[in-house]
Structures are given as C-alpha cells and as structure tokens.
C-alpha cells in the first residue's frame, strides 16, 4: 500500500485482487461476476471440485476454470490471514505447500451443510425410513421402487424449518403424485411458505391428493415390521388417529457450514446466530460484515435458495466495485489519529476496535484509515488519551460541552446523541414540532462509543443538571458494540455521581432508533420532570 499525502486528504492505492472462499455455485458465480467486472480473482475450495451438492451449472464452472483472470485452487484451505482492507495477506494450504497471496477484498461464499434429523425423531434410517435426500435420489433414478406405496413426510417437529426445507418437500410430493398408486401424507408443524411460489406448490400438491396433517407436536412412530405406524392426536376431532405407511421421509436440516466458525476467527469477522457469518444487524444487510472489504454471500450468511444467493452475489459485486473501484481510495487524513508519543502499545484499542482496523508497525499502533469507521470506541477507551477522531476530537467536544452548559435556561440537560439514531430522532421531533424542554442541549457524536466518561463528568462539573446518553438499540449499533461501551461508562459514572453526592437519576442511558421522534420527545421531557423534582 502506498500513501500519497495531501494536506488533509490521503490518497491510498490498494490491491484490487479478490479472494473468494468457497467453490460452491455461489462462490463460482461470485468469482465469475467479479472477474467480469475487471478484477482478478482467487477462488479457493477445500473440496476436490467446484459446484454444489444439489445443483450444478457446468457451463458456468467451465467458464470460471478457463478464465485467465480467475485462479482456481481446489483441495485448498485458508490457514491464516493478516492485514487490513485493501491489503489483506492470506495464506493458503494446498497439499504440503503454503501459498502466500495478497488481495484487496474477500468474499466468503461457503455452502450450506445438510443434516438428517432421524435421531431427533428417535429413528434410524432404514429401508422404510429415508432421508429427504435419499428420497430425492429415488425420485430421480428409481421411481419404480415407490410405485403404489403409501409415503409419509415428517417435518417441522425436529426443527423450526424454513422455506428451503419446505420447497424440497413440496417438490418431492408433486413428483410422487405423478407416480402410479403413490399416496402421500405430510405430517408437519408450521409450513414455511414465505418464499416465491411456495403457496401455489403447496396447493397444487393438495389438489393432486396429498393429505396434510398440521400438528403442533410430533406424532408417535412405531415400526410394525412390514409397515410404519403413525399415531397422532387429531387437533379437530380430539381423538387419536392411526395411519400406516410403507415409507417415511425424514426432514433434513439446512444449516451453516461448520467451517464458518474457524473462518470467522481467521478473518476476524463476527459470527452471527446459528454459525452464520453475519450478525443480525441491519447495517450489515445484505452482504457486509464488521470489516471493510470482507463480504458474505448466500448460505454463508443465511439459509437460502439459489435465487437468493444470486441476489447476494450481485450485491457483493456492487460492494466490490464501490470498495476497490480503480484501486485508489481517498480518505480524510485525520479520520483517526494515534499520537505515537502518548501510545504505550497497551493493545486496548486493538482489542476494542469492532472493525479490525488497528494493527502495529514496529512499536506503534496504526489505524487503517480505510478500515476505520470513525466510531471512536478506541479513542474513548484509550487509557493514554492518545487517539483523536477527525471532526469529533476531544477539544472540539469539550468546547461544545462548555458552551452548552453555560446556557442560563434551567434545568440544563446535555444529551449526547449517536448521529445514527438518537440525533436523527431528535431532529425528527423538532421537524414535527414536538414540545421539548427549553434547556435541552444536544451534542452529536459519531457513535455512542465516543461518549467518554470525561464528557459525562465534565458536563456535570460545568453545571449540567442532567445528562442523557442516547444510543442505538442493542444489536443496531453500526459498530456493533459502541452502545454497549456507552452503557458501561454510564453505569460507572452513576456510581461516581453517588460518591460526589449527586443523585444518579440525573444521568440516564437510553436506546432509540432514528425514526423514534415521539419517544425522543417523551424521554427528554421525562428527564426534565425528574430533574425538576430533584431540584424542588
């Protein structure tokens, strides 16, 4: 990476190669689309070939393997990574060799993994008990086998399920109805039809004769030797019903690839629920992660069908184009600056940065201006006060506190507001002419993570009657945990207030979204009332 410094704008040239992890169809498609946009791609797959278990597009795979801008590495895994967005180093292991690669951006496109849930039903696969995948193979190559049979599906009792699971069942049901003498029953809990076309498939299956038993609890299943008996409580008739079937098809769970856990660690990206590689944070949707230049597509971030994975791929392409552009990035020179004289390399900043933006060069910490999102968590946490955030440096905010606490309107309320949420809500309350306290003074911060303990205490020291720390809701912080840091600092500040004899009700931590003008208004008015009571 080379830096060209102008007065306060830095021009940085970055690597424009892209690493795509995962050679399933999502990864293959990503590689193809990114290469078609003019970037060189390294496609890495740990298995022996490209393509996915369930669907393959040989044309696309052929195009990708023969494209001179795409380097394909199969039988290869990622062993280590380092660096910052625009300049990532990745180490690959292929057979006994370690390969050292440099890329500007990374796309994670791991496939889903499939698990048969027979054990969860207390069953084991046999000639009468088939998994969904086994039944799909039968329907493709051995239809004779199920001619004239009575077949039952079990779904939604061992897992909540999702439209991908439902779609497979609905398609199998329809295929069976084409086979002479096949009768189909489906024992199911919530049938997940929230995907394009599924309700129609569901109806088509029923119209052709499939019987659906919607139950909230799993039925009893017993092997009678020749057949399998299913016993359940009919929800309408309220009595036990028994049915016999020749074959049982057990649902499968579609989940995240277990390798996601180690990839998250390797790439320093947050792991979300159920091992998916994205936190449930609306700021990340659709394909972003907590780190700049690392994107997730398809099954690496949620259970999805191919059409939704394709949607992700095209969003990844947009992100890649935005991020890599022509290999030159301009960033403000003062986005986040470490005073090397003050820094004692205690690593606090490295540990608390949610964006993996901090690294070392020699014996000093460095903040990558490309990776940095300017949240200011590091600046507030640094015990040496060695970090300043452009546009929000400490002296600027201190001056603002000073000016705003000087106001003679009482009670004086200082509200530190995250610019992404509470600040917007405040503006909304204003635009809609909501009645707010006269003594309310809003101070905008880039993220609640930048609300220093000093800011809170000096507001009181300079005459504020009350202080509000207004942040995003838990799980909605753009920097994932700025609001959590702010919450801790408020708790600590409250105990300090106690010590110096100020009521801790004068300080409050509240969470808001940008569209909650009414709530903003209520909160500040309640604060005013509370203070008035304390002062009376």
Partner 1 sequence: MNTEPKKKVMVVGGGIAGLTAAWELSGMNLDVHIVEKTCFLGGHAIKFCCKATEECQQCGACSVEKMLKNVVNEPEINIHLSTEIESINRNGNFKVSLNKGPKYIDPSLCTNCGACFEKSPEQGAIIQGFSKNNSPLYGIVEEKIPLIKDFCKDICPEGAISLDKKGTSETLEVDAVIIAAGFKPFDPEIKGTYGYNKFDNVISGMDLEECLRQNGCALRPSDGKKPEKVAFIQCVGSRDERLGNLWCSHVCCPYALRMAEVIKNQDPETGISVFYMDIQNTGNNFPVFYEKCKSDMEFVRNIPVDILPVENDKLQMRYLSDDEGSAVTGEFDLVVLSIGITPGEDNDKLSKIFDVVLDKDGFISNDNKLSKSFTSSRGIFVAGTAGGPKNIADSMANAGQAACEALNYLGREEHTK
Name all contacts of 221-225 with Cβ < 8 Å and 24+ positions apart. 221/121, 221/122, 221/123, 221/154, 221/248, 223/128
Taking the alpha carbons of 388, 415, 406, 507 in that order, is the dihedral positive or negative? negative
User: How far is it, in rounded angstroms, from Cα 456 to Cα 492?
Assistant: 11
DSSP state of 248: E
C-beta of 83 vs 517, nearer to partner 1: 517
Q: Which residues contact 127 (CB under 8 A, 6 or more apart)?
A: none
Q: How far is the CB of 507 from partner 1 (least distance, A)?
A: 19
Region 101-160 residues binding partner 1, contact defined as CB under 8 A: 159-160
Which member of 76, 405, 421, 494 binds partner 1 (CB under 8 A)? 421
Pull the structure tokens for residue 365: 């910490």
Binding status of residue 334 toward partner 1 by CB under 8 A: no
Among 149, 227, 321, 364, binds partner 1 (CB under 8 A): 321
Of residues 205-224, those binding partner 1 (CB under 8 A): 214, 216
Contact pick of 30, 76, 162, 290 for partner 1 (by CB under 8 A): 162
Stretch that binds partner 1, among 3-11, 14-22, 130-138, 267-275 (CB under 8 A): 267-275
Site for partner 1 in 279-308 (CB under 8 A): 280-282, 285-287, 302-303, 306-308
In angstroms, what is the minimal distance from the CB of 205 to partner 1? 13
Minimum gap (Å) between residue 502 Cβ and partner 1:
26
# residues contacting partner 1 (CB under 8 A): 72
Taking alpha carbons only, the member of 186, 157, 191 closest to residue 172 is 186
519, 525, 530, 532: residue in contact with partner 1 (rule CB under 8 A)? 519
Residue with tokens 């690959």: 92
529 binds partner 1 (CB under 8 A): no
Identified binder of partner 1 from the candidate list 121, 276, 485, 509, rule CB under 8 A: 276
Candidates 39, 153, 295, 310; binder of partner 1 (CB under 8 A) is: 310
What separation in angstroms does the CA of 308 have from each of 200, 298, 305, 519?
19, 7, 6, 36
487-495 contacts at long range (C-beta below 8 A, 24 or more positions apart): 489/380, 489/451, 489/452, 489/453, 489/456, 490/456, 492/453, 493/453, 493/456, 493/457
By CB under 8 A, the residues from 91 to 110 that bind partner 1 are none
- Nearest approach, Cβ of residue 488 and partner 1 (Å): 16
Q: Binding residue for partner 1 (CB under 8 A) from 53, 147, 473, 533? A: 473
Judged by CB under 8 A, the residue of 203, 208, 261, 342 near partner 1 is 203
Q: CA–CA separation, 198 vs 253, rounded Å? A: 18
Per-residue CA distances from 303 to 51, 117, 280 (Å): 17, 17, 13
State the Cα–Cα distance between residues 14 and 103, nearest whole angstrom: 9
Q: Per CB under 8 A, which region of 195-203, 375-383, 405-413, 439-447 contacts partner 1?
A: 195-203
CB of 303 to partner 1, least distance (A): 8
Binding mask 32-71 for partner 1 (x = CB under 8 A): ----x-----------------------------------
Q: Rounded CA gap, 318 and 284, in Å?
A: 14
**Within a 10 A sphere around the Cβ of 400, how many other Cβ atoms?**
17
For tokens 């600590």, name the residue: 492
Stretch that binds partner 1, among 93-101, 259-267, 357-365, 423-431 (CB under 8 A): 423-431
Q: Which residues in the 348-377 window bind partner 1 by CB under 8 A?
A: none
- Cβ closer to partner 1: 11 or 160? 160
Interface residue with partner 1 among 131, 373, 476, 479 (CB under 8 A) is 476
| Residue 330 interacts with partner 1 (CB under 8 A): yes or no | no
Residue the block writes with tokens 């994670």? 108
């Amino acid at each position: 990476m080379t830096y060209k410094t102008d007065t306060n704008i830095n021009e940085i040239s970055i690597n424009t190669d892209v690493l795509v992890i995962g050679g399933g169809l999502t990864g293959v498609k990503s590689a193809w689309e990114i290469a078609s946009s003019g970037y060189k791609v390294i496609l890495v797959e740990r298995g022996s070939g490209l393509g996915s278990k369930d669907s393959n597009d040989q044309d696309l795979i052929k195009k990708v393997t023969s494209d001179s801008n795409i380097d394909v590495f199969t039988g290869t895994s990622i062993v280590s990574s380092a660096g910052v967005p625009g300049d990532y180093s990745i180490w690959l292991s292929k057979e006994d060799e370690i390969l050292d690669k440099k890329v500007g951006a990374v796309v994670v496109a791991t496939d889903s993994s499939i698990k048969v849930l027979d054990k969860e039903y207390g069953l084991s696969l046999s000639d009468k008990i088939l998994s969904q995948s086994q039944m799909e193979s039968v329907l493709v190559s051995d239809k004779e086998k199920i001619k004239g049979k009575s077949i039952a599906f079990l779904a939604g009792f061992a897992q909540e399920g999702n439209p991908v699971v439902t779609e497979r069942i609905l398609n199998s049901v329809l295929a069976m109805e084409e086979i002479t003498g096949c009768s189909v029953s489906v024992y199911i809990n919530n049938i997940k039809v929230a995907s394009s076309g599924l309700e129609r498939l569901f109806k088509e299956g029923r119209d052709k004769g499939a019987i659906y038993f919607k139950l909230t609890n799993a039925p009893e299943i017993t092997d009678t030797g020749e057949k399998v008996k299913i016993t359940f409580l009919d929800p309408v008739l309220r009595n036990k019903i028994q049915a016999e079937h020749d074959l049982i098809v057990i649902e499968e769970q579609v989940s995240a690839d277990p390798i996601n856990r180690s990839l998250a660690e390797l790439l320093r990206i947050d792991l979300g629920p159920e091992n998916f590689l994205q936190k449930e944070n609306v700021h990340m949707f659709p394909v972003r992660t907590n780190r700049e230049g690392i994107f997730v597509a398809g099954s690496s971030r949620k259970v999805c069908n191919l059409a939704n994975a394709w949607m992700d791929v095209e969003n990844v392409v947009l992100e890649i184009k935005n991020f890599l552009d022509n290999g030159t990035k301009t960033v403000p020179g003062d986005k986040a600056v470490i005073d090397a004289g003050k820094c004692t390399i205690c690593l606090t900043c490295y540990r608390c940065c949610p964006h993996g933006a901090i690294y070392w060069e020699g014996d000093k910490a460095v903040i990558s201006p490309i990776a940095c999102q300017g949240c200011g968590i590091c600046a507030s946490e640094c015990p040496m006060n060695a970090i300043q955030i452009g546009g929000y440096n400490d002296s600027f905010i201190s001056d603002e506190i000073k000016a705003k606490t000087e106001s003679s309107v009482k009670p004086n309320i200082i509200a530190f507001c995250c610019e992404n949420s509470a600040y917007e809500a405040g503006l909304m309350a204003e635009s809609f002419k909501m009645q707010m306290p006269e003594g309310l003074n809003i101070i905008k911060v880039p993220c609640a993570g930048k609300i220093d303990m000093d800011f809170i205490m000096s507001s009181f020291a300079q005459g504020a009657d009350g202080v509000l720390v207004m942040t995003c809701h838990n799980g909605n912080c753009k920097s994932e945990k700025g609001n959590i840091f702010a919450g801790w600092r408020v708790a600590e500040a409250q105990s300090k207030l106690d010590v110096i004899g100020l009521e801790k009700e004068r300080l409050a931590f509240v969470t808001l979204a940008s569209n909650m003008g009414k709530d903003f208004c209520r909160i500040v008015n309640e604060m005013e009332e509370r203070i008035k009571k304390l002062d009376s």
